[in-house]
Chains A and B, each alone.
Chain A
Amino acid sequence: AQTVTQSQPEMSVQEAETVTLSCTYDTSESDYYLFWYKQPPSRQMILVIRQEAYKQQNATENRFSVNFQKAAKSFSLKISDSQLGDAAMYFCAYRAGLQGAQKLVFGQGTRLTINP
């Protein structure tokens, strides 16, 4: 079964600094997708960024970028120029392309605090 592990329950960063959230996953599939979701205090699940496993280029969305290491099964999220509005719970998630495509598998979450 696929699993996703976020080993940092909590992280904090100074406003305007850069922070990296870690995520590792386990799968025997070659076709899959990876996601980072943000959950602010409003509880809404907001898609931050996604990565297709077949793409070697790391995905980037404005201040958010990923470091996708397929061989190491690692998918970290880098947030540059951290802002107060980035404070939230962040979830890493995996979805298989074929077998197991019926669900997202989530990590445990990392709570990010931004210090002004």
Chain B
Amino acid sequence: EAQVTQNPRYLITVTGKKLTVTCSQNMNHEYMSWYRQDPGLGLRQIYYSMNVEVTDKGDVPEGYKVSRKEKRNFPLILESPSPNQTSLYFCASSPHLRANYGYTFGSGTRLTVV
């Protein structure tokens, strides 16, 4: 089944403890991206990648890192999480940057930082 797989689905952590949210797609998509969803704000882009080793900042990149060493994987790294990073996170992919249809989303990761 074609899908984007995110792990974990839920995560509770403490301030300052490094964590990684994994994202993997099995559709050979070039484009991948991370979004965070907050009430009243919709979804906002954190980082995106147009291909292996090509990443760039989205609208809210502060406090996050990403890497794209393989085409299928695009992990999101929070090196020193803070409570304002408590949010619902989505990974998404698309065949390429300008594919004229919507993205395929993962099932989301609910992160709580205490």
Contact residues of A with B, CB < 8 Å? 4, 6, 9, 33, 35, 37, 42-45, 47, 50, 52, 91, 93, 97-98, 101-104, 106-109
Does B22 touch A at the CB level, under 8 Å?
no
- Taken together as a complex, chains A and B put the C-alpha atoms of A47 and B100 apart, in Å, by 13
The one of A42, A47, A97, A103 in contact with B59, judged by C-beta atoms closer than 8 angstroms, is: A103
B108 touches A37 (CB 8 A): no
Residues of B close to A33: CB separation below 8 A:
100-101
- Taken together as a complex, chains A and B put the C-alpha atoms of A47 and B101 apart, in Å, by 9
Does B50 touch A at the CB level, under 8 Å?
yes
Interface residues of B in 41-76 (CB under 8 A from A): 41-45, 48, 50, 56, 58-59
Known: A102-B33, A104-B103. 7 other contacts (CB 8 A): A4-B42, A37-B102, A43-B107, A43-B110, A45-B108, A50-B101, A109-B42
The one of A101, A107, A108 in contact with B98, judged by C-beta atoms closer than 8 angstroms, is: A101
A103 touches B48 (CB 8 A): yes
A102 touches B97 (CB 8 A): yes
The interface centre, meaning the residue of B43, B45, B100 with most chain A CB atoms within 10 A of its CB, is: B43
Residues of A close to B100: CB separation below 8 A:
33, 52, 97
- Taken together as a complex, chains A and B put the C-alpha atoms of A43 and B45 apart, in Å, by 17
B42 touches A45 (CB 8 A): no
Give the number of residues in B that approach A within 8 Å (Cβ atoms): 26
The interface centre, meaning the residue of B56, B97, B102, B103 with most chain A CB atoms within 10 A of its CB, is: B102
Residues of B close to A37: CB separation below 8 A:
102
**Chain A, residue nearest B107 (CB):** A44
A102 touches B42 (CB 8 A): no
B41 touches A108 (CB 8 A): yes
The one of A47, A102, A107, A109 in contact with B50, judged by C-beta atoms closer than 8 angstroms, is: A102
Residues of A close to B103: CB separation below 8 A:
104
Residues of B close to A97: CB separation below 8 A:
98, 100
- Taken together as a complex, chains A and B put the C-alpha atoms of A42 and B101 apart, in Å, by 23
Mark interface residues in B15-58 (1 if CB within 8 Å of A CB, else 0).
00000000000000000010100001111110010100000101
